[in-house]
Amino acid sequence: MRADLAQRYEALVELAFHAMARLHENADPEALHDLRVSLRSQRVLLAAFRDRASVSEARGRLAEAAGLSNAVRDLEVSLEWADGLYTETGEGAAACEALRARLDTARQGLLAGLQHARLDEALVDAELAWFRALNRSRRKPLRKRLRGRAGRLAARMRKMARALTADVAPAAWHPLRLEGKRLRYWIEGFSDTLPRRQRRLVKPLRFLQLSLGSLQDLSVLRANLAELPGEVPPSWSTAIAREEGKCAAEAARMLDELMPLLARARQR
């Protein structure tokens, strides 16, 4: 178990360094996505030892670096949706160009921010903290802790889901989306140590995240469009509302299928 976790962390660090190089060269549009995946996955693994001061500090630095990319990611997604709406309606060319200009500015700011945050040093420090904590851990207590947290996350998500009503507003899905992400990333990060009843949650959680992710992206699109000069084409507002309804309906369907699995994930 320890060797597998060590190899997984090393691969994530390597992915981050490769993504940073591609980001600076502006040669690969997937570079930012890979960097975000790596930083997020590292923070998940580090959370197993978050009671250690060095690990907690390392997670904080990685979280700070990841946060710098949020504006770029949001604008990338908004521009993708906006381009699709322009293709569909033939309206909103000015909005697309305005979003594109804001994205270019945000990307330049991201590179400067990552350099200021000394992400390369943060990655090395986090890796050292991870290996020190991992090497000092005992197999059985660690396995018990990892399984216990997966069960608690599943129970918490199930409780949140049961509190949702059928006519819930799109924004009300967001907390559940975040809880689902925490659970899914935890299970993916420690899949080799978890029982099947917990591992089997990954696939339905991914499908749920697709719907909830699109719902959140549409919310971000609305916010970005509200900041632009000029009026958003009415056809865009209609199309966005239509897509929100479709995503919410699909999320509700997927959640119904997920609920029994969440209940079993907490069982011993």
Question: What confidence score (pLDDT) does residue 117 get?
Answer: 87
pTM: 0.90
Q: What is the mean pLDDT of residues 78-89?
A: 97
Q: What is the pLDDT of residues 207-236, one digit of tens each?
A: 999 999 999 999 999 999 999 988 889 999
- What is the total count of domains within the chain? 2
Based on the domain organization, do 252 and 166 belong to the same domain? Answer: yes
Q: How far apart are CA 105 and CA 125, in angstroms?
A: 30
Based on the domain organization, do 149 and 167 belong to the same domain? Answer: yes
Lowest mean pLDDT, pick from 3-7, 22-26, 61-65, 207-211: 22-26
Q: How far apart are CA 218 and CA 112, in angstroms?
A: 28
Question: What confidence score (pLDDT) does residue 168 get?
Answer: 79
Q: What is the chain's Cα-based Rg?
A: 20
Question: What confidence score (pLDDT) does residue 27 get?
Answer: 58
Report how far apart, in Å, the C-alpha atoms of 253 and of each of 31, 37, 207, 244, 246 are. 33, 27, 10, 14, 11
Based on the domain organization, do 9 and 126 belong to the same domain? Answer: yes
Q: What is the pLDDT of residues 93-131, one digit of tens each?
A: 999 999 999 999 998 899 889 888 899 999 999 999 999
For the chain, give the percent of residues with pLDDT over 70.
99
Question: What confidence score (pLDDT) does residue 251 get?
Answer: 94
Predicted confidence band at 32 (pLDDT cuts at 50, 70, 90)?
Answer: very high
Based on the domain organization, do 154 and 75 belong to the same domain? Answer: no
Based on the domain organization, do 132 and 148 belong to the same domain? Answer: no
Q: Which of 102, 137, 172 is the last residue of a domain?
A: 137
Residue 165 pLDDT more than 70?
yes
Predicted confidence band at 250 (pLDDT cuts at 50, 70, 90)?
Answer: very high
Parent domain of 97: 1-137
Based on the domain organization, do 25 and 127 belong to the same domain? Answer: yes
Based on the domain organization, do 1 and 133 belong to the same domain? Answer: yes
Find the CATH number of the domain harbouring 185. 1.20.120
Q: How far apart are CA 182 and CA 176, in angstroms?
A: 10
Give 29 or 128, the one with higher predicted confidence: 128
Q: How far apart are CA 224 and CA 75, in angstroms?
A: 8
Q: Which of 137, 152, 173 is the last residue of a domain?
A: 137
User: Which two structure tokens, joined as six digits, stand for 138?
Assistant: 């005992």
Based on the domain organization, do 150 and 268 belong to the same domain? Answer: yes
Question: What confidence score (pLDDT) does residue 215 get?
Answer: 95
Based on the domain organization, do 133 and 144 belong to the same domain? Answer: no
Residue 166 pLDDT more than 70?
no
What one-character-per-residue DSSP string does 173-240 give?
GHHHHHHHHHHHHHHHHTGGGS-HHHHTTHHHHHHHHHHHHHHHHHHHHHHHHHTSSSPPPHHHHHHH
Residue 243 pLDDT more than 80?
yes
Based on the domain organization, do 183 and 267 belong to the same domain? Answer: yes
